[in-house]
Amino acid sequence: MTSRTQGFVLPVFASYLDVLAQRASQATTMIWGWQGQARRMGAPVKLLRQQPYVPFLFRAVDTAGLVSHVALSGLILHKTSAAYASLAPWLDEHRVERFAASPWGNRSTTFYVVTGGHKLAKPIPFEHLTLASEERPLSPGMLRGYAGIYLPDSLLPWYQSAGETWEGLDVPHLGAV
């Protein structure tokens, strides 16, 4: 059984996934669009306007077809938005690269702040996730970009708990901008 809550699957460096799990009750800024010609995160921004949070299901960049970690976002901000300039210092202070002792540049298009980072006891194969746009299993060979999925029912307790954690954070509450 699959809920109608939507989220996204995307690749992230393994060292960043470790940081998300360690900072489960804190806000961490993730980035999208550092890959050069990458586009902004359009669909997640739209989804955040329709539901209170966006769950992100992550796979390590070097592992195909398995979701190993999850985190929840209540703030997704395009670098070109009017709110970016005033929030840039806060976003920078909470960047995952800072906690992973990893260098970073300034080539991102979208910032998404997450909490509730959790390493799954049992990774979820892509084919056990439903691609929201086509109502079919997610292809295990999906390697690039992100894919909109329905959150599996097994993750609903985590989703609720992560939402409660989000509400207790001192995070700018702009939603999707």
pLDDT score recorded for residue 107:
63
Query: pLDDT for 131-163, tens place per residue?
Result: 999 999 998 887 777 889 999 999 999 999 999
Q: 2-167 architecture in CATH? A: Roll (2.30)
Query: What are the φ and ψ backbone dihedral angles of 122, each rounded to 5 degrees?
Result: -130, 115
Residues 6+ positions from 106 with CB-CB distance below 8 Å? none
Sequence spans of domains, the chain: 2-167
Burial of 49 (0-12, 13-18, 19+ CB in 10 A): exposed
Query: pLDDT for 32-55, tens place per residue?
Result: 765 555 666 788 989 999 999 999
pTM for the full predicted model: 0.89
